[in-house]
A and B are shown apart, each in its own frame.
Chain A
């Protein structure tokens, strides 16, 4: 089957699922239901796209198919920022309440952190990308410990606000941030466009990429920042669910069977949207909210991860 046909199938499934979600089981209040669901779908599509997109790029930079950007501690940093804001200012403060400011501060700090990590990596020579991952992993644990430290000493009522942000939730999407996220996402995509041609070459590894004339440090640094922004968007919108990325990107590799990133990125995004919208349909219409989407995603993702590790013959 040609790759374009496969992409067409994916796109068709995604559109059908979205339409099913929007227009079935509406009841009598469709004037309320449709806009409400549209916003939800928009947030899902945005999150799905951001996660899939950033995971493809991150896996290519690290030349590793079982990593997600979550490993460098960006999720933990987000939680730390949220906890810290509430710890210092209390839950009633403007910065916590004004979500746009909070969002921009979080994104800014996450990008700054990615930049700092990168400095670690390329300050000395001979450091490989795994050093960056290790530092990120350690920092992530540190952030987590800081967060739990603050969480145990704050007021229990305020802790509830943090807890609300600790888990990915699609019923409680930060719709206020939607416009800002769309703008940011578009800006990042346009900026990213210049680098997309390098991704195929980067997947050959650092030395081959340099040999083929890629300015490796320059390109990787910028791609890492793109990843940081995308992760910030998805985390701020729904919470930490980078695990989804692992799942959808690997399914995309299996399905589309190519190394070409122009196909990989789009099919990952489509699969991600299918997984999220399909999952939400199951949660809302089948389980009638008795479980959450992140539980389903983590369950399926976890099972798939084990399968990946156990699978001996490495095909795609």
Chain B
């Protein structure tokens, strides 16, 4: 049995599912983003959708005849922890336009989601519960390790920058070409999505987006310790248009706002990044 997990949008919030499927010996199929996928996405998406959404639809297009099922959850939390509006229409967009079998769950209680999807794949509840437990342990272990590594970078002697962006942008292999440009300098990159959302209150009181809270609290936590902040956004991201603008007005560190539409030429980005690094290193 093959289950497709498109590497876009919710993939980075559903990492536990990968462990879960592995535990049940279900083959998980997902590809890294490449030029072909982006082109497929451009063709099947509405022209006004954001680049991350286009990438997601490209993945679905690419996966649809390569697997038996595709997992599309409907992530939503309470009113104080909302998701971007795009996340709520993914399932219906795909079910209306693609002829693939879909696995889905409504975000209520975690174990219930796993039971629902597992039973649909034909497993017994005992198996599912066991796999869920192991997946949780494995996931927590790796996530903790990543978090620690990320925090340890704050103590390094090198110049440090904080990369602020959503997981589905800063972890995407194709968009990462831009971030790789930083790596030739001797600079530590601290990722904003590996923080807790405890500190957002210091910068923004009315914020109600779950994953923007994490970004904002990362800025609030380490704005004194880093040398510069890089905002990494796809065009036209609804949440970042407001949240990043507010952050830019409230911080007094050097910052760089990278908005990515189509990655046709990296030359322009390269110049901007180089001059930004120059500014940091002069301090």
Q: Do A and B come from one complex?
A: no
